[in-house]
């Protein structure tokens, strides 16, 4: 199934028009979590203002899940 990862900012959304194929929702969710983790790590090394609140996961034009930035940060510290 094709999943789209829309980047949720505090004041706008950047839509993923292409999407990616995943066999299961769990694979898509893990990929979204890893993507958000990578964005967070990149932002820590810059002076940019962080405005991303999460990634909305959509399939067939419907939301099927959201990965929130606070959950990724909590997991980052929990896994240490």
Q: What is the pLDDT along the chain (80 residues), one digit of tens a residue?
A: 999 999 999 999 999 999 999 999 999 999 999 999 888 888 877 877 788 899 999 998 788 999 998 888 888 777 66
Full residue range of the structural domain in which residue 68 is found: 2-78
Residue 9 backbone dihedrals phi, psi, to 5 degrees = -100, 170
What pLDDT does residue 59 have?
93
Given CA atoms 74, 46, 4, 31 in this order, what sign does their dihedral have? negative
pTM, two decimals, is 0.85
The DSSP code for 15 is -
Q: Which pLDDT score, from 0 to 100, does residue 80 have?
A: 61
Give the burial class of 17: count Cβ atoms within 10 A of its Cβ; 0-12 exposed, 13-18 middle, 19 or more buried: exposed
Q: Give how many domains the chain has, as a whole number.
A: 1
Enumerate the β-bridge partners of residue 57.
5, 65
């Amino acid at each position: 199934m094709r999943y789209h990862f829309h980047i949720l900012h505090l004041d706008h959304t950047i839509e993923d028009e292409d999407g990616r194929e995943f066999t299961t929702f769990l694979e898509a969710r893990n990929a979204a979590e890893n993507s958000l983790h990578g964005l967070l790590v990149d932002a820590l090394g810059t002076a940019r203002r962080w405005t991303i609140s999460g990634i909305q996961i959509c399939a067939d034009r419907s939301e099927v899940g959201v990965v929130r930035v606070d959950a990724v940060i909590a997991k980052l510290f929990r896994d240490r």
